Structure 1
Amino acid sequence: MGGCWERLVRSVKSALAALQIERNPDDETLWTVVTEAEAIVNSRPLTYVPLDTEDQEALTPNHFLMLSSSGVCQPQKDLVDDRRQLSCNWRLIQNLLSQFWIRWVKEYLPTITRRTKWFKETKPVQNGDVVVVVDEGARNGWIRGRVVRTLAGKDGRVRQADVETNTGVIRRPVAKIAILDVLQSKA
């Protein structure tokens, strides 16, 4: 019954376990890393939103939890006054969060990509599919879009797709596209 979220918890635990966190991190560092990891996980898109609408924001778990898509809330503690310590802590936390993002993408994206090699035929990417573009871009940067054109290889199989995003149309190989299981409403 709870397979979806249990799989999500497992991938988060695995990504956190792979981080190069020192043996006994201070509470603030650990709290920040876990909180940012939570924001990353809860900012993944859950629904389809047409790209041509005023509201360019897909529904995310953060909408339910924090009443905003970003999941940002005000700090609960006073900041450290020592600039060197603050700078050192910030760099450490940014490094840990980058490691988490890389690992999270490695763990999570394969669970939403349905193309398995050699075992069985899968439905190819089609025009109109809602997708997340797998990019080695900024942390927590989910580029979503809609497939507007597919390009077949010499063997007749779809190998590339043009994806319409809110910034324009980009071409990506199908291995770098994760199809979202969401239904488009015909309005």
Structure 2
Amino acid sequence: MSASRQGRGCKLTKVYILIFVCFATKAVHVELTGDLTSNNYLSALRRFISRRGKPKHIYSDNGTSFVGAYNEIGRFIKDNCNSLSENLAQENINFHFIPPQAPHFGGLWEAGVKSIKYHLRRILGNCNLTYEELNTVLVQIEGVLNSRPLTPLSTDPDDLLPLTPGHFLIGRPITSLPSQNYEEVPSSRLSRYQRIQQLRQHFWRRWSKEYLSELQQRSKWRSNADTLGTGDLVVLKEDNLPPLKWRLGRITAFHPGADGINRVADIRTATGIVRRPFCKICPLPNNKEG
């Protein structure tokens, strides 16, 4: 819900979130829209294209706003095909729709919707924000999702930087301005700006823990599975890290137990070597490739 203004007597209106997910880089783009009409979807699509560039293909479900936008663009191309150059006609966006009643065909964007919607509903609760404030929260959540480490950036054992969706968007990792920790402060003592930062911090705390847990393969440690190797780039599970801050390091040594099974490793980080159990180590996907 979005409020028309701050203070008492404000009018609450329902708003919607439009999520774009890049199939190649897994980058996420979030747009706030007022309703589900085709015109509003086209406006959000134009904002997306103006900032990210025009895509060649767009995949979506069979929502009426998506199908309506496709029909409207198709009518424009048909009515103006004589005045448009051949090159422009060839650069038209190709819309692809999954089969009706088959949301599992869109698993990639459904995962992006879940990442945002699941935690956003829990951190907002009954909080009523203005359109600008809600848009600020969503853009900051977009930055959080695009800061997640995907794979090692290089095979250099001295390189502690991971490849993130932010590298494909701005050429470097996405960072944020430093901010005081407001997680434990009652919302009644915070200003509107501080409340927005508190929402971002709550989202980061919930989502980052979930993402790190997904990187780990949970199994009974009865044998060496060789999932980790010396020199692998890993993410460390650390408490009280600020938003968009990931602690990474490379494994330097293992410490087997009395049964010969490795359960502890030494990791070289930017601040020195630390020793952590495997339950606090999250290997990045495709760590063995290259």
TM-score, normalized by the shorter chain, greater than 0.5: yes
**Does residue 52 in structure 1 map to residue 155 in structure 2?**
no
Residue type of the partner of 1:112? L
Aligned to 1:135: 238
- Say which SS state the counterpart of residue 148 (structure 1) adopts: strand
- Say which SS state the counterpart of residue 214 (structure 2) adopts: helix
How far the C-alpha of 1:3 sits from its partner, in A, is 4.2
Conserved? CA contact 1:113–1:178, under 8 Å:
yes
Percent identity (aligned):
37
Q: 1-side partners of 2:227 and 2:164: how far apart?
A: 26
Residue type of the partner of 2:158? D
- Say which SS state the counterpart of residue 114 (structure 1) adopts: coil
Q: 2-side partners of 1:168 and 1:45: how far apart?
A: 20
**Partner of residue 61 from structure 1, selected from 144, 156, 165:** 165
**Does residue 12 in structure 1 map to residue 116 in structure 2?**
yes
Residues 42-86 of structure 1, C-alpha deviations (whole Å, 9 max, x = no match): 011223133525xx54321112223332266xxxxxxxxxxxxxx
Residue type of the partner of 1:105? S
Q: 2-side partners of 1:164 and 1:93: how far apart?
A: 35
Residue type of the partner of 1:59? L
**Does residue 169 in structure 1 map to residue 286 in structure 2?**
no
Conserved? CA contact 1:133–1:176, under 8 Å:
yes
Conserved? CA contact 1:11–1:108, under 8 Å:
no
Residues 144-174 of structure 1, C-alpha deviations (whole Å, 9 max, x = no match): 1111111123343222111112222111111
Q: 1-side partners of 2:108 and 2:247: how far apart?
A: 22
Task: Map residues 144-155 of structure 1 onto 2, 5 A cutoff.
Answer: 144-155=248-259
Q: 1-side partners of 2:168 and 2:235: how far apart?
A: 21
**Does residue 97 in structure 1 map to residue 200 in structure 2?**
yes
Aligned residues: 170
Q: 2-side partners of 1:12 and 1:158: how far apart?
A: 36
Conserved? CA contact 1:125–1:174, under 8 Å:
no
Q: 1-side partners of 2:225 and 2:109: how far apart?
A: 24
Q: 2-side partners of 1:105 and 1:45: how far apart?
A: 11
**In 2 relative to 1, CA 3–154 (structure 1 residues): closer, same or farther, beyond 3 Å?**
farther
- Structure 1: give runs of 5+ residues left out of the alignment: 73-86
TM-score by length of 1: 0.75
Aligned to 1:31: 135
- Say which SS state the counterpart of residue 127 (structure 1) adopts: coil
Q: 2-side partners of 1:27 and 1:162: how far apart?
A: 47
Q: 1-side partners of 2:206 and 2:250: how far apart?
A: 25
**In 2 relative to 1, CA 96–117 (structure 1 residues): closer, same or farther, beyond 3 Å?**
farther
Question: For the pair shown, which has the larger CA radius of gyration, 1 or 2?
Answer: 2
- Structure 2: give runs of 5+ residues left out of the alignment: 1-104, 177-189
Q: 1-side partners of 2:149 and 2:258: how far apart?
A: 34
How far the C-alpha of 1:107 sits from its partner, in A, is 2.0
Q: Which has the higher strand share?
A: 2
Aligned to 1:88: 191
Aligned alpha-carbon RMSD (Å): 2.9
Q: 2-side partners of 1:184 and 1:121: how far apart?
A: 16
Residue type of the partner of 2:191? C
